[in-house]
Structure 1
Amino acid sequence: MLDPSPEDDGTSPAVSTPRFVGREREMAALRGALARPPAIVLVEGEAGIGKSRLLREWLAAPDRRTVLVSMCPPLRESLTLGPIVDAFLGIERPVPRERLTELAGALRPLFPEWSSNLPPALPPLDDAKAARHRLFRALDELLRALSVDVLVLEDAHWADEVTLEFLLFVISRQKPDGLSLVISYRPEEVADGSLLLRLTSRLPAGVTQLRIALAPMQPGDTATLVSSMLDGKPISQEFTTFLHDRTGGVPLAVEESVRLMCDRADLVFRDGQWVRLKLRELRVPPTVRDSTRERVSRLSPTAQQVLRAAATLSERSSVATIAMTANLSPAVCRGAVTETAVAGVLDGDDRDRWRFRHVLAATAVYEAIPLTERRHFHLLAGRALEHLRPPPVARLAHHFREAGEKTSWARYAEQGAELAMASGDHTKAVDLLVDLLSWAVLPPVDRARVASFAGVAALGRREPVDQVYHRVIRTLRSVLETPGLSARQQAEIRNPLGRLLITGGEAQAALSELEQAVAGLDHDPVEAARAMTYLGWAYAGPWPASTHRRWLDRAAELTARIDSPAQRLNLAGNRAAALLMLGEQEAWDVVAGLPVDGTTAAERLDVARIHVNVGTGALIWGRYADAEEHLAVAMRLAEAERASRLQHNVRLEQANLAWNTGRWDGLAETSAALADADRDRPAHYLGSVRLAARLAAAAGRRRAAEEQFRLVLEESARLGAADDTMEAAAALARLWLIDGDSRRALRVTDEPMDTVQRKGVWVWATDLVPARVEALLALGDPAEATRLVGRFARGLRGRTAPAPRAALAGCRALLLAAAGDHSRAATAFDRAARAWSALPRPYDALRARERQAEALLAQGRIEPGRELLAAQYEQLFRLGARGDADRVAQRLREHGAEVPRLWRGGRRGYGDELSPRELDVVQLVVAGKTNREISRILSKSPATVDQQLRAAMRKLKVSSRTALAVKAVEAGVFFDVSAG
């Protein structure tokens, strides 16, 4: 007698956990990579593709290695370093105290349960970045003390930035046979700027690299997987095709669809294979959400309550925590958890913690909870999590927020922000606090405290001006409108608000906030002195220099009474830069006493920022050797601390220095790269545009230059950055003077000139006064031009400011030429040219020589005038000022001179030889740099690098980068780059 088939007894087929199918090649690659430590393995793929299953199968294999495993939960605000902490807590053996140094005392806030095995707590650090670095070193030491071989981090696309920074830190310190990392993530959920993308970009030598990209299953593997769930019996080809087409071969979707069909008794065993009843009529769920909800609906009401609780908790949780969230007794909850586990919905670990087997299933259940019930679940979840030690403050803030419990929400949001800042994650702190201020109705005293905290946290963010920045500004301004705030509370909000406004380029508004803040900061001399120093910067506002100077003097008095050397250094350095902006000669005495290094990372960054500002001031004064020295110090420290934004600041000022000193080669590419990098920082972006405008004007690209200078002028005026309007207004005036539109040229200089005279800061007027003098003379007003030159001279008395003084010499020459005294004018222009050359500032020196030649011609000294003019033509042309060179060529022709033909076909040709620029690119290719890295190092656009690389390959007759490197070495066309 034959055994009855499954269809004969009317029962649904038993569903088993699917076999591990179709990933043999990936498993072999994973094992091979981890057999060559240290390794970094990235496992990527969409949700449900099988990343976790691959890792579980690897972990299940016998292995003597020590492995830490953790997951990044999909929290709205993930806990800073939470995944790393959870990974360590999975170790059962005690921490070996004898293998830890005092540095491990930094771990006490993260691992209170290990207090008996950890050294004493370390003193707090004022600098968040230094605190984070110390914590990273301590965690790395703990990894080594525990002899951890592999750290596995799942769902890294949900990881907080500090966790990713720690992974980068660990991999950068790897040694042979060191720790390996296995990281899984969904690439579609990784932002372009995520640190996750850097994990394989710059690895030290000797690190094994592997990227496993999991693809959907093929139809054959789909059939094998389904068969393994159904007693190992085959499935029909029609069913295979149907299922694969509608699930796309995603294992999770396949598995969930099979379970749904079995629950609904839609599968029968017929003719030796599983087939689907009513194949055409039944709609296979297009998403896992539909299948999950239907499966959940077939469970008992208690099990459904447990699933709603687990979905609300969203992370692995104990039965006790789930029971409290579901409002069930532990015993009843245990039975329901068992039911859901048998149904394949929840999955437990070896510590008896449970969660949904798939995040998508949890989301489907959570979204099905009515809003009114959802708030209650979050309230119960929050109360349950309060029993954990240490309390998961970010999760607690999240749950009490969703529950509408503002008091608890506020308490845990602030605690979470404090922890985030302690780890250097200021952005997370800002998110928690601004979210609280935006959605919770707090008492005025709490609202003020949280707002001040949010402002301080925002000042520590390393991210550029972005939506978060603007949200912070709006929030702080909104809080200031709260009735009943004391003067002190308002001051503690206005102080960080003013400094944030400076970062965003809103200079005028910043000074208004800071001035109001100072009156309420008597209780905090450091912050009061800092606010006064910001008020001493003369870039904005209607105040004269004397008012700014009084603020700086008040700040200096407070600084002298401050005990902290680091705070005194910060304030003294900022005061020196502010004095330079004011044109105060004594600033250089303060600068002479500034250090060129620091003992801590925080000090080094502070010293770097100070030297950038001093370099900027030196550029304004025309002390270019000093500028180069200070910018070099700043770049050295910024590179040592990997402060990328600060490096951008230094590069911009170095580009300005290169412009002034006539080193124009490559500046066009540099300005474009700087503009791309600084679009989110208005003041720096405008500085890049100004550099491009200078080049356009010199090259004779009139329309581009005018548009760019107008943008700089208008935006700088809008932002209140008065000092940045000077050069743009002068450049536009010169362009319009060439057109003969003298009145327009005069008008564009009116407001900037009024600012200079009102504030009394004449070192700003290097470009402005000569342009205005020329406009006044063109309009027939030599008397006003003479008075202006006199005011310029008086404003520069006692100041070693070579650039403004060279400009003053040129102005005096203009007056002589306008008076018809061409002999003395020629001598005066010669004096101005020598002054410019001494800086050196060759472009202005050449233009002064051009004026000298014109004066000689006006005297009737035709031959010396033509010879001098011809010399300026060639030098302007070779400098890159082709527009000026064309103008001089026209004047030479008007005076009967023959204009030499200079090569204009782009860059000089080198035949089959590599040009200097191509040699630079080849050198870096041999050093192993990518095109993007070469672009950054040489300050060229990626397109330019690619073009020069292709040209080099063509000349050396090779078709690959490897062949290029070999051919270059054989040809001896580059010097040793082993140090690179």
Structure 2
Amino acid sequence: MLDPSPEDDGTAPTVSTPQFVGRDREMAALRGALARPPAIVLVEGEAGIGKSRLLREWLAAPERRTALVSVCPPLRESLTLGPIVDAFRGIDRPVSRLRLTELAGALQPLFPEWSADLPPALPPLDDAKAARHRLFRALDELLRALRVDVLVLEDAHWADEVTLEFLLFVTSRQQSHGPSLVISYRPEEVDDGSLLLRLTSRLPAGVTQLRIALAPMRADDTAALVSSMLDGNPISQEFTTFMHERTGGVPLALEESVRLMCDRADLVFRDGQWVRLKLRELQVPPTVRDSTRERVSRLSPTAQQVLRAAATLAERSSVATIAMTAGLSPAACSGAVAEAASAGVLDGDDRGRWRFRHVLAATAVYEAIPLTDRRHFHLLAGRALEHVHPPAVARLAHHFREAGETRSWARYAEQGAELAMASGDHTKAVDLLVDLMSRAVLPPVDRARVARIAGVAALGRREPVDGVYHRVIRTLRSVLETPGLSARQQAEIRNPLGRLLITGGEAQAALSELEQAVANLDHDPVEAARAMTYLGWAYAGPWPASTHRRWLDRAAELTAEFDSPAERLNLAGNRAAALLMLGEEEAWDVVADLPVDGATAAERLDVARIHANIGTGALIWGRYADAEEHLAVALRLADAEQAFRLHHNVRLEQANLAWLTGRWEGLAERSAALADADRDRPAHYLGSIRLAARLAAAAGRRRAAEEQFRLVLEESARLGAADDTMEAAAALARLWLTDGNSGRALQITNEPMDTVRRKGIWIWATDLVPARIEAHLAAGDRKAATRLGDQFARGLRGRTAPAPRAALTVCRALLLAAAGDHGRAATAWDRAARAWSALPRPYDAMLARERQAEALVAHGQFDQGRELLATQYEQLFRLGARGDADRVAQRLREHGAEVPRLWRGGRRGYGDELSPRELDVVQLVVAGKTNREISRILAKSPATVDQQLRAAMRKLKVSSRTALAVKAVEAGVFAEEDSLDDAS
């Protein structure tokens, strides 16, 4: 390094590696967290912000520890579990000396180089998920045998799904003295459906937790970093400002820009400080792309060719692989690699593999390759990687795709998809296959085969419905338009397509596809039976219940011949749920024989899905204790198997159960969270909106309730989900009846009522028939109301469903009240209230009691009626049905009764203690936030923040924000969290 003196005017500097500056606080926090194992440390920040440098500096410290380090490659199609495998390959202890059980034999396929030192390979398992779980256990055993203290995974935003699942597996076992985890990632590159979000948002209790959010450097740190790269002497203020503004304080951009300027002799030492020549004429590249491209252009043509090859390969590669990709001899390539490494562009590991030091630099070089040349580089890369064993099929598919070699691309894409599905990574399989079908011209027979596999892979995904689902659906529909497909090929595509449409909420379209598929699935009885069972579900279509029942019976005949217990379980569970939707009593006999667990991951997932469907059916029947039991089983298994889509389903049904059984505390927040999580799943999103509409109607927020119920009704009708139109139509009818608009109430219930009659499934009409009868009565048509009540009674004959039967008692009470028989009406309303309470369904019971009270008053029993009304007013108010409570209060006043005084909102007093909301404000004051910032963070108005801040100051007896912060910390009113999200 040059040490110029003030007399060395005009001397160009020699560039050194920058010192580690501006991260003292983050380093102290990292060390502190890892000193309290087990720990999970998340290091987040944009590209080039210094995540890797922070971790390298920590790893270089002389502390005694065993750490495994790996970096995820930038390709989406990265090798399953590749980062974890690479981490283990960095160990320096002989595997043969480790105390490993026979379980470690599962590692043989991953580490063929250790084949002589590992236990014998284990026999293969038929269930891919069970094999993956066994593999995870073996990897965890290896971690513990090596006594690994810390597992470091860099660039986790590029990690494959199975790698992330393994990290989740490790976190679940940390409390049994597992290793600490340090994970770095770029938040902006984490997909909404990524498992990484579970690592960043659902950390286990009892584990030290730290999140370090690296921010760009301040101006003084920028100056210190640049100075350290030169000679330690200061840089001018003008130069500091220039660098900070042009690079945004991103360390990588700073480093690359300094190197570029030095290469171009743009820096000189003058008057005791480094300054930049031609400040205005010569533009400093604002991004790493520009600086990297110019630095590369100064290397030899051979080195540039090597860098273009390395950029195309994208992952660490041997000299031999790079040479073949670059079209060079190994000797020439080796020299060029050395040149690029000396220039600080390439970085090697102890296995002689090379890649760019920074992904941004690789991207800059790759994007500079002319499009015509890129195809050639990818072709050479693919041919080079075909010599690597075991073959990296995902990378091979990528390179041959970019090279336009369709045949090789298709072969490796299918192989990659098969491997991904075998390890449980169905998302990767879908990506590979949909990409292939969307961009390649395949023969019809190949296109049909790939489409079928893609559909099956999509059905196996555990994530919530997202863009991947919709891509698959669009692609399968497109493939069905391919000329030349046989009826059998079309059926094999329509079958998974129909099931995907069910998940996506397109009920009518789903039945259409499945009905066409089942006619040509004779060659596959299992899939034929499965399709028939789905056709037995009555949620859509014009068919009567008898048609759905025939499909179920046909499926049962096929199922009786199956030998596989798993297939029999799957079809029995689907049959039970379908029978419940039809209102068939025998469904409960089938339910009684269903297991509550499974021997394999696949069986557990199937059992979870079955119990979720049974829970939904139990809600329709009004068997709420049964619903709670089945949903609890489903949630336990869904969480155990990390089935996120199913988890959301169950949470929604549990929220519906909470509404029905009167557990409304926090339900509004739950419905909002569910709606956000399910926006891409129409049926479930509408279910969340329906829940919000119920709460709005009960609270008296008429406009919101009406808009939300209309959305649910219209969208459910559009999607063909007939059963989901019932409650929304009934709710709208009740709202309009309060306006005296019986005609509109009848009109909105016409189509749902026709659906019930046409299908003959009267258990769906729990809400609909009472609302319709009331509309007929309001219109003066008692004959139509009576006729509908009789139809409802006949439709429920022989069925013990408690909720529809309670609704039937409401219908009878409505008819008695309309006849003017107030004494008998009061008795009937009492019967209805008791029926609702027995479920329990307290809100409906309270509404029935309100009607009973009105009947008593009409019958001349004024005191008894007013007393009952007052009781319902208080109970409705406590439940949270403030709109109904206000209506009852008005009726009490009309009857000359006094309305009880109840506490009406706002938080109850906390005395001299800070309320939870005041604590939130004080915590942010201590963190140095302004009132405006606190308002934005807590989503409160500035006036509310000011009010809560003044209340906190009054309670803590201080008169300034500073004194408040000091007093709050001294008093220990809240615990400081181990987080650096706001670090700057």
Q: TM-score range by the shorter chain?
A: 0.7 to 0.9
Q: How does 1:314-393 map to 2 (within 5 A)?
A: 314-393=314-393
How many angstroms apart in 1 are the aligned matches of 2:831 and 2:258?
A: 91
Offset at residue 442 of structure 1 (A)? 0.9
- Partner residue in 2 for 1:479: 479
How many angstroms apart in 2 are the aligned matches of 1:127 and 1:525?
A: 21
How many angstroms apart in 1 are the aligned matches of 2:602 and 2:953?
A: 48
How many angstroms apart in 1 are the aligned matches of 2:907 and 2:69?
A: 59
- Identity rate, percent: 81
AA in 1 matched with 2:415: Q
- Partner residue in 2 for 1:302: 302
AA in 2 matched with 1:901: P
AA in 1 matched with 2:752: P
Structure 2 unaligned regions, length at least 5: 920-937, 958-963, 976-984
How many angstroms apart in 2 are the aligned matches of 1:475 and 1:251?
A: 43
- Partner residue in 2 for 1:932: none
How many angstroms apart in 2 are the aligned matches of 1:968 and 1:147?
A: 37
Contact 2:414–2:433, Cα closer than 8 Å, also in 1? yes
Secondary structure of the residue aligned to 1:465 is: coil
Question: TM-score normalised to the size of structure 1?
Answer: 0.87
* 1:36-92 C-alpha deviation (Å, 9 max, x unpaired): 654544444443344444544555667775443322222143333221122223346
Secondary structure of the residue aligned to 2:95 is: coil
Contact 1:227–1:235, Cα closer than 8 Å, also in 2? no
- Partner residue in 2 for 1:807: 807
Check if 1:441 corresponds to 2:429. no
Contact 1:172–1:204, Cα closer than 8 Å, also in 2? no
Secondary structure of the residue aligned to 1:96 is: helix
Offset at residue 629 of structure 1 (A)? 3.0
AA in 1 matched with 2:78: S
AA in 1 matched with 2:214: A
Offset at residue 369 of structure 1 (A)? 0.9
Contact 2:170–2:178, Cα closer than 8 Å, also in 1? no
Secondary structure of the residue aligned to 1:99 is: coil
How many angstroms apart in 1 are the aligned matches of 2:236 and 2:891?
A: 90
How many angstroms apart in 2 are the aligned matches of 1:600 and 1:487?
A: 35
- Partner residue in 2 for 1:401: 401
Contact 1:76–1:398, Cα closer than 8 Å, also in 2? no
- Partner residue in 2 for 1:284: 284
How many angstroms apart in 2 are the aligned matches of 1:343 and 1:473?
A: 49
Contact 1:622–1:802, Cα closer than 8 Å, also in 2? yes
Q: How does 1:418-433 map to 2 (within 5 A)?
A: 418-433=418-433
Q: How does 1:77-88 map to 2 (within 5 A)?
A: 77-88=77-88
Q: How does 1:130-169 map to 2 (within 5 A)?
A: 130-169=130-169
Secondary structure of the residue aligned to 2:294 is: helix
Change (3 A) 1:395 1:832: same
How many angstroms apart in 1 are the aligned matches of 2:779 and 2:572?
A: 46
Check if 1:213 corresponds to 2:198. no
* 1:314-334 C-alpha deviation (Å, 9 max, x unpaired): 122111111100111112222
Greater CA deviation, 786-795 or 129-138? 129-138
- Partner residue in 2 for 1:74: 74
Question: TM-score normalised to the size of structure 2?
Answer: 0.86
AA in 2 matched with 1:20: Q
Q: How does 1:510-909 map to 2 (within 5 A)?
A: 510-641=510-641, 643-859=643-859, 865-866=865-866, 868-869=868-869, 871-894=871-894, 896-903=895-902, 905-906=904-905, 909=908
How many angstroms apart in 2 are the aligned matches of 1:223 and 1:884?
A: 67
Between Structure 1 and Structure 2, how many residues are aligned? 944
Change (3 A) 1:260 1:205: same
Q: How does 1:10-25 map to 2 (within 5 A)?
A: 15=14, 17-18=16-17, 20-22=19-21, 25=24
Offset at residue 878 of structure 1 (A)? 4.4
Change (3 A) 1:234 1:697: closer
* 1:497-546 C-alpha deviation (Å, 9 max, x unpaired): 11111111110001111111222322333322222111111111001101
How many angstroms apart in 2 are the aligned matches of 1:964 and 1:266?
A: 54
Change (3 A) 1:396 1:905: same
- Partner residue in 1 for 2:931: none
- Partner residue in 2 for 1:933: none
How many angstroms apart in 2 are the aligned matches of 1:866 and 1:241?
A: 78
How many angstroms apart in 2 are the aligned matches of 1:637 and 1:949?
A: 43
Q: How does 1:488-503 map to 2 (within 5 A)?
A: 488-503=488-503
Change (3 A) 1:920 1:262: closer
* 1:812-867 C-alpha deviation (Å, 9 max, x unpaired): 33334434444444443443333333333333334334444444555555565555
How many angstroms apart in 2 are the aligned matches of 1:41 and 1:269?
A: 42
AA in 2 matched with 1:730: A
How many angstroms apart in 2 are the aligned matches of 1:203 and 1:377?
A: 46
Change (3 A) 1:835 1:15: same
Contact 2:542–2:758, Cα closer than 8 Å, also in 1? yes
How many angstroms apart in 1 are the aligned matches of 2:859 and 2:150?
A: 85
* 1:538-583 C-alpha deviation (Å, 9 max, x unpaired): 1110011011111111222222222222332222122111111100
AA in 1 matched with 2:766: T
Change (3 A) 1:966 1:358: closer
Contact 1:576–1:587, Cα closer than 8 Å, also in 2? yes
Contact 1:217–1:250, Cα closer than 8 Å, also in 2? no
Change (3 A) 1:177 1:628: closer
Contact 2:462–2:644, Cα closer than 8 Å, also in 1? no
* 1:237-284 C-alpha deviation (Å, 9 max, x unpaired): 766665555445544434433443444344566788766554543322
AA in 1 matched with 2:598: G
Change (3 A) 1:107 1:797: same
AA in 2 matched with 1:205: G
Secondary structure of the residue aligned to 2:355 is: strand
Greater CA deviation, 563-572 or 449-458? 563-572
AA in 1 matched with 2:904: G
AA in 2 matched with 1:905: R
How many angstroms apart in 2 are the aligned matches of 1:208 and 1:813?
A: 59
Greater CA deviation, 605-614 or 46-55? 46-55
Change (3 A) 1:805 1:151: closer
How many angstroms apart in 1 are the aligned matches of 2:245 and 2:877?
A: 67
How many angstroms apart in 2 are the aligned matches of 1:269 and 1:237?
A: 14
How many angstroms apart in 2 are the aligned matches of 1:522 and 1:968?
A: 67
- Partner residue in 1 for 2:505: 505
Q: How does 1:54-133 map to 2 (within 5 A)?
A: 54-56=54-56, 59=59, 65-91=65-91, 95-96=95-96, 99-122=99-122, 129-133=129-133
How many angstroms apart in 2 are the aligned matches of 1:806 and 1:33?
A: 58
AA in 1 matched with 2:532: M
Offset at residue 377 of structure 1 (A)? 0.4
How many angstroms apart in 2 are the aligned matches of 1:225 and 1:392?
A: 41
AA in 2 matched with 1:338: A
AA in 1 matched with 2:789: V
How many angstroms apart in 2 are the aligned matches of 1:307 and 1:320?
A: 14
Offset at residue 403 of structure 1 (A)? 0.5
Change (3 A) 1:951 1:326: same
How many angstroms apart in 1 are the aligned matches of 2:39 and 2:520?
A: 55
Change (3 A) 1:551 1:123: farther
Contact 1:499–1:510, Cα closer than 8 Å, also in 2? yes
Change (3 A) 1:527 1:471: same
How many angstroms apart in 2 are the aligned matches of 1:438 and 1:322?
A: 30
AA in 1 matched with 2:484: G
Secondary structure of the residue aligned to 2:174 is: coil
How many angstroms apart in 2 are the aligned matches of 1:63 and 1:880?
A: 58
Secondary structure of the residue aligned to 2:152 is: strand
AA in 2 matched with 1:154: E
* 1:136-191 C-alpha deviation (Å, 9 max, x unpaired): 22221222334444433232332233323322322432368753434333444445
Check if 1:312 corresponds to 2:312. yes
Offset at residue 714 of structure 1 (A)? 1.1
AA in 1 matched with 2:720: G
Offset at residue 401 of structure 1 (A)? 0.9
* 1:639-673 C-alpha deviation (Å, 9 max, x unpaired): 55554543443333333333333344443333333
